[in-house]
Amino acid sequence: MPDDLSAQSLDLAKLSDDLMRLLRLRNAPFGMKLFEDAAEMEAIPRIRRPDKVHTLDQVVAQAARLGWTVGITGDNLVGAQCRAVVGLGMAKDATWKSGQSMVGVWYSTPEDAAAHQASMAVVPDGQYQALAVSPLSAGRLNPPDIALFYATPGAMMYFINGLQWAGYKNFEWGVVGESSCADSWGRALSTRTPSLSIPCFAERRYGGVLDDEMLMALPPAYIAKAIAGMEALAKNGLRYPFPQYGIQMDVREGMGRSYPDRNKKA
């Protein structure tokens, strides 16, 4: 995590506004926080507690799409898969590890299903009792463990460019397949590093994720770093959305906007 940015010192509402402005987001960024004591989660101002059984994708969507602050325990979630990813139970369970419910549905053999379960990034069991999600701008998680936002592939590329502006890092992310929440909030909560995912079937069917959306999850300090990088890129004329130049145009004039030596005629 960036050494000079404490989550406690960040202006989360400004981070949210800056991301909305720079990436033209459809929905505001939101946060996620784990709690060792469920009572602490329930004490959050204006917290909503589900009266239905949900997937975690649905709970996340209520923060991302509706702007709600929602708190859950494992009992609010439909099954072991959702609970295990965020450390609310089942990750040590032999039946969950076997992935037997996915055999013949998502994977052809028991060995394939078990390999999928083993590849998922999950929060270790036993420490947490509850979880809450809330828009970053609301400031109710004080601070969240991670922040998340949905964006188009182009916007995600620009955000990553911002992260790489200073202190360059080559990011390498995997695709677990179905249950790709393990690639986003599972990985970010367990490693506290930026984690990009291609949302899976369940996120799209139950969480309302659109076909052209990807999901980024990361500690809030990284957002401040990326914003500083994107602001620097913008001064160089590199902004999102990316203007189309034309596939039959002489490329030298266009490249000359960023690389002056490329604008010279042969």
pLDDT in tens, 193-235: 999 999 999 999 999 999 999 999 999 999 999 999 999 999 9
Q: How confident is the model at residue 257 (pLDDT cuts 50, 70, 90)?
A: confident
Cβ-Cβ contacts under 8 Å for 2 (sequence gap 6 or more): 167, 221, 222, 224, 225
What is the structure's pLDDT at 135? Answer: 98
User: d(Cα 96, Cα 104) in Å, to the nearest integer?
Assistant: 16
Q: How many CB atoms lie within 10 A of CB 216?
A: 27
Cβ-Cβ contacts under 8 Å for 28 (sequence gap 6 or more): 16, 20, 64, 67, 135, 136, 137, 149
Which range, of 83-87, 93-97, 144-148, 169-173, averages the lowest pLDDT? 93-97
Q: What is the pLDDT of residues 1-56, one digit of tens each?
A: 675 555 668 999 999 999 999 999 999 999 999 999 999 999 999 999 999 999 99
Q: How confident is the model at residue 173 (pLDDT cuts 50, 70, 90)?
A: very high
Mean pLDDT of 79-100: 90
- Largest alpha-carbon pair distance within the chain? 71
Q: What is the percent of the chain where pLDDT is above 70? A: 95
Q: What is the pLDDT of residues 113-129, one digit of tens each?
A: 999 999 999 999 989 99
The overall pTM is greater than 0.85 = yes
Q: What is the pLDDT of residues 131-151, one digit of tens each?
A: 999 999 999 998 999 999 999
Asked if the model's pLDDT at residue 266 lies above 70, the reply is no
User: d(Cα 160, Cα 164) in Å, to the nearest integer?
Assistant: 6
Contacts 24+ apart (CB under 8 A), 185-188: 185/32, 185/60, 185/85, 185/86, 185/146, 185/148, 185/217, 186/85, 186/86, 186/120, 186/121, 186/122, 186/123, 187/121, 187/217, 188/146, 188/148, 188/217, 188/218, 188/219
Q: How confident is the model at residue 186 (pLDDT cuts 50, 70, 90)?
A: very high
What is the structure's pLDDT at 261? Answer: 74
Q: How confident is the model at residue 62 (pLDDT cuts 50, 70, 90)?
A: very high
Q: What is the pLDDT of residues 91-108, one digit of tens each?
A: 678 999 999 999 999 999
Mean pLDDT of 69-89: 94
**Choice between 259 and 76, residue whose per-residue pLDDT is larger:** 76
User: d(Cα 197, Cα 183) in Å, to the nearest integer?
Assistant: 5
Q: How confident is the model at residue 180 (pLDDT cuts 50, 70, 90)?
A: very high
Mean pLDDT of 170-181: 96
